[in-house]
Structure 1
Amino acid sequence: MKDMGEASYILGIKIYRDRSKRMLGLTQSSYIEKVLKRFRMEHSKRGALPMRHEIKLSKKQSPKTDEELKRMSDITYASAVGSIQYVVQCTRPDVAYALSVTSKYQACAGEAHWSAIKNILKYLRRTKDTSLIYGGGELILEGYSDASFQSDDDDAKSLSGFVFKLNGGVVAWKSSKQDTTADSTTEAEYIAASEAAKDAVWMKNYIQELGVVPSSAEPVVIFCDNNGAIAQAKEPRSHHRSKHILR
């Protein structure tokens, strides 16, 4: 085994360090440039947001005529989703929500869905140099959870999202559709917080095994912006609106 020195790239992720500031950064700018060229978006306009607020996607926008089916069959929608997924998984939590919304239409993608994917690529073109930065923050793991109530136009299900920070940078994140249909914003937020708590338990155990974070023995704080969900988590009394929740 030969020591090749400090790593500068790993799996398409550039690693850079500033020892004077005790900072480390991760970026996928080169990989994003390759993705843009693959889908002929390297000269596109630069998007301001990964998904515009007014965009509403559903299966109703899937191809209906033979002409539309033929046109969409020539578009590598699933390949684009997979390419963006790798960016989201490694360094770009800011694109997680947009991808979770668009990825479910891989088997029935229409023009509107493809337009939303291209909008993500335009945003990545503008922000290709965005990095995850670590250093300067406290070695305390903390999480944030949120939910969008019944935002799926196809089945009225809600979306969960959470993010965890450590040492000034984001270390874990997720955006996904909930398995059950929530009947209220409180229930949707409670489900999202529950999903975040599951990840928090795993990360806490993992960090304790590493033995490098002094605060790993302390409880992980998860922030939630719904008073009803917070009350339910702190004092889970029996209630007819939450009797289906197993504790």
Structure 2
Amino acid sequence: MKDLGEASYILGIKIIRDRSKRILGITQTSYVEKVLKRFKMKNSKRGFLPMRHGVKLSKKQSPKTDEELTKMFDIPYASAVGNIQYLVYYTRPDVAFALSVTSRYQACAGEAHWTAVKIILKYLRRTKDIFLIYGGGELILKGYSDASFQSDEDDAKSQSRFGFKLNGGVVAWKSSKQDTTTDSTTEAEYIAASEAAKEALWMKNYIQELGVVPSIAEPVVIFLCVNNGAIAQAKESRSHHISKHILRRYHLLREMVGRGDVRMDRVTSVENMADPLTKPVSQIAHAQHLDKMGLRNMIDWL
């Protein structure tokens, strides 16, 4: 067996270390460049946001005539979405919401949907050198959860999101449409918090086995966007007539709170790192959330 030294590439992910600053960064710059070339976006305009504020996608924008179907037949929509998905899985939580929305229309994509995918690619062109940075932060696992109430244009289901941060950068994230239809913001937030808590429990057990983060023995704090109702539901069912239709699997959250695995707390939307994972935000807000996630341009830290 030969020692090849420190890893610099793993599965197309570039790793850079600065031991003097105790910082490690990962990026997929080369992969982004290949994707842009593959979909003829290498010389496109550079976008500032992965999804434009106010954009609404739905099945109503799908092809309705033979002419429209023929036009979309040769568009590599599903392939582009799949390529972007690989980025989101490993280093690009900032694109998670845009991917979640556009991936719903792979079987019925129209021009509006394809335009939304190209906007993601334009944004990736501008941010291809972005790094996910770890180091210089608290060695405490913190979670952020939120929900966008009835945001889906087709079935009025809500969007869940969560993100977990450790040592300055996000280590887990998700943006997805909820399976259950809710009729209040409290219920949507409660379901999102339940999904975040299950992720927190898995991460807590995993990190405990590694034995490198002493603080993991404490309850993992999950921050919600100022929703007292959702926090109250997590601690004790006070409005059974309102929440009784929520699937039993989501009520596992109460058990985890009760035994001290997680703890729920409030945070404003501005401070919630998970905020851009359920809806498009302004350019200023997007930049602020990038910093909170630990996403920075290469020239800002090398």
The TM-score normalised by the length of structure 1 is 0.98
Q: How many angstroms apart in 2 are the aligned matches of 1:228 and 1:238?
A: 9
Instruction: Quote the residue 1:78 is aligned against.
Output: 78
How much does 1:244 deviate? 2.5
Q: Deviations over 1:3-23 (max 9, x none)?
A: 111111111111000000000
Q: How many angstroms apart in 1 are the aligned matches of 2:34 and 2:140?
A: 36
Q: How many angstroms apart in 1 are the aligned matches of 2:183 and 2:141?
A: 31
Instruction: Quote the residue 2:56 is aligned against.
Output: 56
Q: How does 1:1-247 map to 2 (within 5 A)?
A: 1-225=1-225, 226-245=227-246, 246=248, 247=251
Q: Deviations over 1:129-188 (max 9, x none)?
A: 111100111211010001110000110000000000001110000000000101101100
User: Is the contact between residue 232 and residue 238 of structure 2 (CA under 8 Å) also seen in structure 1?
Assistant: no
Q: How many angstroms apart in 2 are the aligned matches of 1:227 and 1:48?
A: 34
Q: How many angstroms apart in 2 are the aligned matches of 1:130 and 1:30?
A: 11
User: Is the contact between residue 182 and residue 188 of structure 2 (CA under 8 Å) also seen in structure 1?
Assistant: yes
Q: How many angstroms apart in 1 are the aligned matches of 2:169 and 2:10?
A: 19
Q: How many angstroms apart in 1 are the aligned matches of 2:71 and 2:12?
A: 32
User: Is the contact between residue 134 and residue 168 of structure 2 (CA under 8 Å) also seen in structure 1?
Assistant: yes
User: Is the contact between residue 14 and residue 28 of structure 2 (CA under 8 Å) also seen in structure 1?
Assistant: yes
User: Is the contact between residue 147 and residue 192 of structure 2 (CA under 8 Å) also seen in structure 1?
Assistant: yes
* Secondary structure of the corresponding residue to residue 24 of structure 2: strand
Q: How many angstroms apart in 1 are the aligned matches of 2:48 and 2:232?
A: 37
Q: How many angstroms apart in 2 are the aligned matches of 1:237 and 1:90?
A: 39
Q: How many angstroms apart in 2 are the aligned matches of 1:134 and 1:44?
A: 31
How much does 1:238 deviate? 4.4
Q: Deviations over 1:191-232 (max 9, x none)?
A: 000000000000000001111111111110000012211121
* Secondary structure of the corresponding residue to residue 241 of structure 2: coil
Partner amino acid for 1:136?
Answer: G
Q: Deviations over 1:81-120 (max 9, x none)?
A: 0100000001000100000000010000000000000000
Q: Which runs of 5+ in 2 are unaligned?
A: 252-302
Q: How many angstroms apart in 2 are the aligned matches of 1:53 and 1:231?
A: 32
Q: How many angstroms apart in 2 are the aligned matches of 1:237 and 1:188?
A: 16
Partner amino acid for 1:242?
Answer: S
How much does 1:234 deviate? 2.4
* Secondary structure of the corresponding residue to residue 44 of structure 1: coil
Partner amino acid for 1:41?
Answer: M
RMSD, aligned CA: 0.9
Identity of aligned residues (%): 83
Q: In terms of mean alpha carbon deviation, does 226-235 or 63-72 score higher? A: 226-235
Q: Which runs of 5+ in 1 are unaligned?
A: none
How much does 1:235 deviate? 2.9
The TM-score normalised by the length of structure 2 is 0.80
Q: How many angstroms apart in 2 are the aligned matches of 1:29 and 1:23?
A: 18
* Secondary structure of the corresponding residue to residue 21 of structure 1: coil
* Secondary structure of the corresponding residue to residue 5 of structure 2: coil
Number of matched pairs: 247
Q: In terms of mean alpha carbon deviation, does 53-62 or 226-235 score higher? A: 226-235
